[in-house]
Structure 1
Amino acid sequence: MAYTEKRTTAGGATSWVGRFRVDGRLHSTRAFRARRDALAEARRAEEAGKRGEWIDPRAGTLTVADWFTTWQQGRLDRAPRTLEAEQERFRSLVAPTFASVPLRQVSHDAVARWAATMRAPRSGEVASAARRRDAVRLLVALLDAAVDARRLTSNPARTPSGRVPALPRAPRTKAHRYLNHEQLRRVADATRADARTLVLLAGLTGLRWGEVSALRGDDVDLLRRRITVERAFTRLDDGTLLLGGTKTHARREVPVPAVLGEALAGLVASRGAGDLLFTGRSGAPLRRESFDRYAFAPAVRVAGTAVVTLQGLLGLAPTALVDSATVAAVRRLQHDAGLDASGVVGPETWQVLVAADRASRTGADRGARIARTRHLEATSRVTLRPGVQDFAPLTLHDLRHTAASLAIGGGANVKAVQRLLGHESPVLTLRTYAGLFEDDLDRLGESMSAQFEAHGAVDGAHDVLTAGVTRLPVRLGAGA
């Protein structure tokens, strides 16, 4: 039962403190001048303790920085990259404002002002909406954990209803880039021979870079035509590569594309069961930045501008589309060179074009001639047919989006695409690629229309009843 104690200072001043028990331990309130105030406070605290709602005021004296360190120590099971990103975000965006502030002194207004005005550490300008949003989410999670640990009675970053009004608006996400089958083949053909398999594998299965670079020989089952995905490389900011589980910590299988069966078989045969399928020149794990710089990005530049390159060699105005004028010029060239005038630009046609271009480089310096030769050598590996067009640059991760697009375009349902990409739920798949599934509605409408018309084409088909069913008379009355 709560009670009070009288305190007298050396100067003779009198005050009262309330005493109460919570979980069997005796606690004191702050000092009051009036006894009744101390007793009322002690009774309120004791009742809160019985409901499990009492918070020791001393627990909130821990600073935000010290609590962040404690909080992260309980999250060591998280991916190293996740912990590293949290540390960077706290250090650069949260700490300058809240590091030395005790938890109980963090106010709702202070969080709102900080969320709107936080500065980027390098430029000193207001940070981007995406960075501010991530930083606010980190602070909210930190304060939520403080509430759960009974260091705060409530999260000052939230309203009583649980909302976070200070959260900056979500930035518009970058539009996904998709390649069709012809464009994906063009990129694969334009890259180096040793990189072609990796590009097609990523573009047809949707494996993340960390997953595809961690594949081993025993992950490929050519008899079942399956690839097991259960590990991935994670790159830390200091360049260290860590091998661990996949992003969702789940094991999954993806189908082996038939077009890669022979290439994968040769690759698996050249590796040991536990060896990585794709490695750097020294045999170390293949790094994304290295592969992108020396293999993928150059191939995208070549494949994405192949039509304009062709039109330049033919002396035509660039339209980035193999249109009728381009096809006519190609056929004239093929006819004059004694080739089949198909209008399709393959190796033999490229050979004629490159030879003519080489003969015209009289005024170029040595460096320009070498660069031109390398560019045309890569371009001549692609095949251009009537109607194909150039495309804008894309990233390695866009190959994952391409796989999703091709799967959905091929009729795969949401669940199949989710399993292919390794999403945690079909909801994430729908949210990420909702626009691609709009085509399903078009196909559904066309299918239902076709079925309706097919039944209508049969005389009386819409009036035919199932055997044994009697047509009931229809009565229209006041209650109809």
Structure 2
Amino acid sequence: MAYTEQRTDSDGRTGYIGRFRVDGRLRSTRRFTSRREALAEARRQEEAGKHAEWVDPASSRVTVAEWFAVWQESRVDRAPRTIEAEHERFRSLVAPAFGDRPLRQVTHEDVARWAATMASPTTGETASPARRRDAARLLVALLDAAVDARRLRSNPARTPSGKVPALPRAPKTKPHRYLSHEQLRRVADATTSPQTRTLVLLTALTGLRWGEVSALTVADVDPLRRRVRVTKAYTRLDDGTLLLGDTKTHARREVPLPATLVEAVAAQAGGRAPADLLFTGTRGGPLRRESFDRSAFRPAVGAAGRAVRTLREAVGLPGSGLYDDGVVAAVRRLQSDGGVEPSGVCDPATWALVADADRARRDELTRGEKVSRTRLLTALSRTTLGPGAEDFDTLTLHDLRHTAASLAISGGATVKAVQRMLGHESPVLTLSTYAGLFEDDLDTLGDTLSAAFQATAVVPEGAAGGPASVTPIGAARAWAAG
């Protein structure tokens, strides 16, 4: 029960402090000149303790920076890349505004103003919406943890209902890029090594993340069951260090190994021990994303993505990215003149004729441009183009993961199957990420249900023209006409 005590300081002034118990410990209020005020404050504090709302005033005096350091000590189970990103955001965006401020002095208005105007540490200009949103989320989580630790009674970044109105608007996500089966084969054929070809196809047909595919060992591949076990992943820190740890969702999974890749993967694993990495760098260590992208993936994508335009230019047709009837006719003429079967398909043998035709059109090119052109045609000489082929814009390694989802969905895979293949935490994430790819399912579903229902109709013999034979479309037309 709350009570008061009289206190006299060194100057002889008399005052009162309130005494109360919270969590079994006797605590004190600040000094008051009035006994009534001291007792009222003690009773308020005691009542707050009964409702788990009491906050030790001393604990809220720590600065935001000091509390961030304490909070991070409790998050050692987080992924190293996550911890590194949080430290970078706090150091560059949160600390300049709130680092030296005591927790209890952070106000809702200050957070709202900061979230809208926080500046980039490098340019001094307002940070991007994505950066501001991530930094605001970090501060909200930091203050939530202070509430849980009873250092704050409420989170000043939230409204009384718990909302965070200061959170910057979510930036629009980058549109996904998907390759068709033909375009994927073209990229794979344009690569310069068996390892690059196998890695590109494995990623685009299984949806593995880069950290996962680069961490695969020989033992992770089961060619008999045609399964790939995904148990770990590499994470790259900002200083270039590679750390081997759990997957992004900390879950293990198996993905199907397409039969068309069994032989290539077996060749890639040949001569290696079970614990050896399946894909390696030039010195035998882990394959780094930056070097692979720069030296192997990007050149192949660049060549394959403009293959049709390159072919059209070589045979003297206007620039376009479609292998249409005009290209077919031009390729057939080129094949006939070169003594090759005029199929209209640009295969490796035909690319040799294309290269000869292209050399006759290089008079206005510089020496460097001629060398680049030769390299481009050399890469394309391993590909095959046919009617209907289309060029595509450049894409990233992660777009191969999107391609895997697209090819799986177009092949009839269920949401659950795609979720398991990609390693998403829930089907909801799969649907929200690739919702546009499932739009045609409504038409397919309607046709399937209609066909199944119609199949149950019993039509008497000789009554083919009766009511039972009227199709739904015919009935709809008759109804519309009437």
TM superposition score category, shorter chain reference: over 0.9
1:266 counterpart letter in structure 2 = A
Q: Partner residue of 2:300?
A: 299
What whole-Å deviation, never above 9, does each CA across 1:247-267 have from its counterpart, x for those lacking one? 111110011111111111111
Q: Partner residue of 2:424?
A: 423
CA apart distance, 1:453: 5.6
Please list, as runs of the form range in 1=range in 2, the aligned pairs for 1:5-404 lying within 5 A after superposition. Answer: 5-194=5-194, 195-361=196-362, 364-404=365-405
What whole-Å deviation, never above 9, does each CA across 1:345-373 have from its counterpart, x for those lacking one? 10111111112323554565543332221
2:315 counterpart letter in structure 1 = L
SS in 1 for 2:312: helix
Specify every segment of 5 or more residues in structure 1 that has no aligned partner in the other structure, as ranges.
Answer: 465-480
For the residues of structure 2 that align with 1:274 and 1:36, how far apart are their CA atoms? Answer: 75
* Aligned residue-pair number: 464
In angstroms, what is the RMSD of aligned CA positions? Answer: 1.8
CA apart distance, 1:93: 0.5
For the residues of structure 1 that align with 2:457 and 2:297, how far apart are their CA atoms? Answer: 54
SS in 2 for 1:57: coil
What whole-Å deviation, never above 9, does each CA across 1:69-123 have from its counterpart, x for those lacking one? 1111111111100000000000010000000011111111110010011001111
For the residues of structure 1 that align with 2:105 and 2:171, how far apart are their CA atoms? Answer: 30
Contact 2:315 2:357 in 1 (8 A): no
1:30 counterpart letter in structure 2 = R
CA apart distance, 1:450: 3.9
1:409 counterpart letter in structure 2 = S
For the residues of structure 1 that align with 2:415 and 2:363, how far apart are their CA atoms? Answer: 57
Contact 2:315 2:358 in 1 (8 A): no
For the residues of structure 1 that align with 2:261 and 2:119, how far apart are their CA atoms? Answer: 49
Q: 1:341 to 1:449 in 2, by over 3 A?
A: farther
Q: Which moved more, 1:368-377 or 1:379-388?
A: 368-377
What whole-Å deviation, never above 9, does each CA across 1:273-307 have from its counterpart, x for those lacking one? 11001111111110001010011111111111000
Q: Which moved more, 1:401-410 or 1:4-13?
A: 4-13
CA apart distance, 1:168: 0.6
For the residues of structure 1 that align with 2:290 and 2:71, how far apart are their CA atoms? Answer: 33
2:251 counterpart letter in structure 1 = A
Q: Partner residue of 1:467?
A: none
1:218 counterpart letter in structure 2 = A
Q: 1:117 to 1:360 in 2, by over 3 A?
A: closer
CA apart distance, 1:442: 2.1
2:324 counterpart letter in structure 1 = D
For the residues of structure 1 that align with 2:19 and 2:259, how far apart are their CA atoms? Answer: 77
What whole-Å deviation, never above 9, does each CA across 1:127-161 have from its counterpart, x for those lacking one? 11111100010000000101111111111111111
Please list, as runs of the form range in 1=range in 2, the aligned pairs for 1:465-480 lying within 5 A after superposition. Answer: none
2:88 counterpart letter in structure 1 = E
Specify every segment of 5 or more residues in structure 2 that has no aligned partner in the other structure, as ranges.
Answer: 469-482
Q: 1:9 to 1:306 in 2, by over 3 A?
A: same
Q: 1:432 to 1:279 in 2, by over 3 A?
A: same
TM-score by length of structure 2 reads 0.93
SS in 2 for 1:243: strand
Q: Partner residue of 2:478?
A: none
Q: 1:172 to 1:42 in 2, by over 3 A?
A: same
CA apart distance, 1:23: 2.5
1:294 counterpart letter in structure 2 = S
Contact 2:186 2:383 in 1 (8 A): yes
For the residues of structure 1 that align with 2:363 and 2:131, how far apart are their CA atoms? Answer: 52
SS in 2 for 1:42: helix
CA apart distance, 1:463: 9.2
2:240 counterpart letter in structure 1 = G
Q: 1:441 to 1:119 in 2, by over 3 A?
A: same
1:32 counterpart letter in structure 2 = F
CA apart distance, 1:439: 1.8
SS in 2 for 1:97: helix
Contact 2:314 2:361 in 1 (8 A): no
For the residues of structure 1 that align with 2:208 and 2:19, how far apart are their CA atoms? Answer: 62
Please list, as runs of the form range in 1=range in 2, the aligned pairs for 1:402-421 lying within 5 A after superposition. Answer: 402-421=403-422
2:276 counterpart letter in structure 1 = D
Q: Which moved more, 1:414-423 or 1:51-60?
A: 51-60
2:40 counterpart letter in structure 1 = A
1:179 counterpart letter in structure 2 = L
Q: Partner residue of 2:474?
A: none
SS in 2 for 1:26: strand
Please list, as runs of the form range in 1=range in 2, the aligned pairs for 1:429-440 lying within 5 A after superposition. Answer: 429-440=430-441
